[in-house]
Amino acid sequence: MPEEGNFKYLETKGGKHNIVLLHGLLGQLSNFQGILDGFSDRYNVVFPHLPILEMPVKEVGIGALLQYVSSFIKHKDYDKVNLIGNSLGGHLAQLYTLDNPDKVQTLTLTGSSGLFESAMGSTFPKRGNYEYIKEKVQTTFYDPATASEELIDEIFKTVNDRMKAIRIVATAKSAVRHNLGDKLHNIKVPSLLVWGKQDGVTPPFVGEKFNELLVNSELHFIDKCGHAPMMEHPEEFNKILDQFLYKNLVE
């Protein structure tokens, strides 16, 4: 992934509209492969790597990550962006939209935090226990097979790094403290909500609550789907997203 100053990111430059993908707490580029495959030729799809595991421990938190996202978009000099956020990335997308309403064309949230989330539990992370981590990763999805061995190995490696584990827990706690329920009515941009019917981290009622609080939103549920619809059902997710973007970005 190319590096430019303090930023590590991928940019496809496939069109004039910018789609910025914001990943979750343990997210990575592969989470959005379906979107990259489906939209890179028509949009400038951008994936900034969020430095959740690299930033100084004393700075860890959702505020520092928001500042990073803001600095990145400013650095790239994007006039307008279309934000797509999964889990913690959705939380950041909401915060950025609240701070920069004139910069955001559309907002897409999928399995997003910001209102409620059932994280990996108070005992997370159990360092050294591969089966525990494997089970936790698999339960993120409706179909456990979606959690590849490579993904499980990468997360296991991450949580067994003591300092990375500290950053993960601190970031998760910071997100819980930043509940946005009383602020979402201020977001006026067209908003798309795509939720898995079997999401156990941010259950369906969370998507319904977002739909209630976001004044210009539409909600779509995907069946047999957990916390990351764009990974489990990329074709169905892309169809919903394509229609939404066409409706709101067509000239």
Distance CA 126, CA 154 (A): 15
Would residue 81 count as lying in a domain? yes
Structurally, how many domains does the chain consist of? 1
CATH number at residue 72: 3.40.50.1820
CA 221/CA 152 separation, integer angstroms: 26
State the amino acid at position 54 in one-letter form.
E
Q: Over 50: is that where the pLDDT of 51 sits?
A: yes
Domain-located, residue 131: no
167-179 pLDDT, tens digit per residue, is 888 888 888 888 8
For residue 208, being part of any structural domain is answered with yes
pLDDT (average), residues 123-139: 75
For residue 224, being part of any structural domain is answered with yes
As given in the structure block, the two tokens for residue 68 are: 């990073």
pLDDT at residue 125, as a whole number = 52
Q: What is this structure's pTM?
A: 0.93
Residue 233 lies in a domain: yes
pLDDT tier, 127 (very low <50, low <70, confident <90, very high otherwise): low
Give the mean pLDDT of 234-243: 98
Is residue 147 situated within a structural domain? no
Decide which of 59 and 82 is more confident.
82
Residue 118: its pLDDT value, please?
A: 64
SS (H, E, C) the chain: CCEECCEEEEECCCCCCEEEEECCCCCCHHHHHHHHHHHCCCCEEEEECCCCCCCCHHHCCHHHHHHHHHHHHHHHCCCCEEEEEECHHHHHHHHHHHHCCCCEEEEEEECCCCCCCCCCCCCCCCCCCHHHHHHHHHCCCCCHHHCCHHHHHHHHHHHCCHHHHHHHHHHHHHHHHCCCCCCHHHCCCCEEEEEECCCCCCCHHHHHHHHHHCCCEEEEEECCCCCCHHHHCHHHHHHHHHHHHHHHHCC
Determine the Cα–Cα distance for residues 148 and 155; give it in Å rounded to an integer.
11
pLDDT tens for each residue of 7-23: 999 999 999 999 999 99
Q: Which of 23-27, 112-116, 122-126 has the lowest mean pLDDT?
A: 122-126
- pLDDT for 129 equals 82
At a CB cut-off of 8 Å and minimum separation 6, what does 131 contact?
none
Domain-located, residue 136: no
Residue 207 counted as domain residue: yes
Residue 124, pLDDT above cutoff 80: no
Mean pLDDT across the chain: 91
The domain of 193 spans: 3-118+179-249
* Rounded CA separation 76/78 (Å): 6
What pLDDT is attached to residue 120?
A: 47
Summarised one tens digit per residue, pLDDT across range 71-116 is: 999 999 999 999 999 999 999 999 999 999 999 999 999 999 999 8
pLDDT tens per residue, range 210-223: 999 999 999 999 99
Confidence bin at 59 (pLDDT 50/70/90): confident
